[in-house]
Amino acid sequence: MQKSAQISDKIALLKKNGYEYLFDRDIFFNNEKRKCFSLEFIEDNSIDYIESILREPGSKEITFYFNYPPSDTVRSEIVKQIESLA
């Protein structure tokens, strides 16, 4: 049960910082800050580490925080999907 509480705290942190959940991709994204987190990455990393990433400035291109980098094709699909929601 403790791990579940930690995950909910991490998700609350992301939502508080303007991140939205994209259900069909299991990702949290913020188009303005140009960052995208996989649910798996969120589960596997500490809240302190996630907070440190959130404090870093965004870049022009979307930065992906995944345990295993998505292929170029998947990245392209995610970027299109995120930008269509903006």
d(CA 65, CA 80): 17
Give per-residue pLDDT as tens, 5-27.
Answer: 599 999 999 999 999 999 999 99
Q: What is the mean pLDDT of the chain?
A: 92
From residue 69, how far is each of 5, 37, 50 by CA, in Å? 26, 11, 17
pTM equals 0.89
Q: Tell me how far CA of residue 14 lies from CA of 6, 51, 71, in angstroms.
A: 13, 9, 24
Q: What is residue 2's predicted lDDT score, i.e. its pLDDT?
A: 54
Asked whether the predicted pLDDT for residue 1 surpasses 50, the reply is: no
Q: What percent of the chain has pLDDT over 70?
A: 94
Task: Encode burial over 42-57: b for 16+ CB neighbours within 10 A, e otherwise.
Answer: beebeeeebeeebeee
Domain map (residue ranges) of the chain:
2-85
More confident residue, 2 or 45: 45
